[in-house]
Amino acid sequence: MKKITLLMSVITFSTTLIGQQLQNKYRMPILPEAGDYAIGANAVPILNYVGNIFNGTQENEYAGENKFVNFFSGQSLYGKYFLDSNKAVRINFLAQGSSFNNTHLVFDDASTSPDDMVEDKFSSSFQTFRLGGGLEWRKGKGRLQGYYGGEIGLGFSTGTKRTYEYGNDFSAANQSPNSTSWTNNGTAVVESSLASRVVETNGANTFTFGLRPFAGVEYFFAPKISLGMEFGWALDYSVSGESESVVESFNTVSNTVEETIDNLSSGSNQITFGTDNFNGSLNLMFHF
């Protein structure tokens, strides 16, 4: 009877020790469990902010713009679903874009008054979409957890599209209208009489496929909240299509305005590989 009592005491004590490794003093689970979801945030801006509190207004930028995955640079959405306590499905998603518009006043060719102006317009836009997923395996029983795995990524980026509108039109009486010349970023450089001018440019669309094994470590400083660092090796294959520009001018033979298409590039492909996030990728994860 004493042996049975002693054995039960040892089992109870061992169970208590294991429970202390996985629960805090309020008996709340510390580590993720099967069925848990997790979302992540880049911890670098948070650490920069905290650091700036202690050193005035100086910027703490040593970690740069490193995020979770080099392939998913930018503000990616990052999540996990735990199949069990030691295995999780990872998902990455990025959708971003930009649109810019600018105007510039030029002299009205149809007016005799130097005070009369017309408006030239510039606009540009692009979009980027990326989606990735993979599997992650975990090791460790305490607050410090190691993990490793692999993932694939698919990406699509539109080339920058630029459109130009002009206040002075081509005509038989005005075959070189006063027009604005623009930089690629939409800054008006100079206005002059142009016999031909760009009305649209279309950058090359790019498709990307990536493979990436990774390894990392994270520490659960609070129940199901962790701070981690990840490193990886990425292999990306990208294919870009053609880019072109549309130019308008006045055809004196047909006495009409005509547009011609110029190919700026015929397409390309590229393979890149190597370690990513060499300075480390800090991430803050919330599990629920």
Q: Regarding predicted confidence, which is higher, 54 or 197?
A: 197
Q: Is 197 a residue whose pLDDT tops 70? A: yes
- The number of beta carbons lying within 10 Å of the beta carbon of residue 67 is 26
> What is the arithmetic mean of pLDDT over 256-274?
91
Where does the pLDDT of residue 47 fall: very low under 50, low under 70, confident under 90, or very high at 90 and above? low
Q: Where are the domains of the chain?
A: 1-27, 31-287
- Please report which confidence band the pLDDT of residue 176 belongs to, taking 50, 70 and 90 as the band edges: very high
Question: With the C-alpha atoms ordered 23, 24, 26, 30, is the resulting torsion angle positive or negative?
Answer: negative
pLDDT tens digits, 157-169: 999 999 999 999 9
pLDDT score at 237 = 96
Contact 133, 89 (CB under 8 A): yes
Contact (Cβ atoms closer than 8 angstroms) between residue 263 and residue 244: yes
What average pLDDT does this structure show over 80-100? 93
Q: What is the pLDDT of residues 99-133, one digit of tens each?
A: 999 999 999 999 999 899 999 999 999 999 999 99
- Helix runs in 23-178, H state only: 44-54
**pLDDT for residue 288 is more than 60:** yes
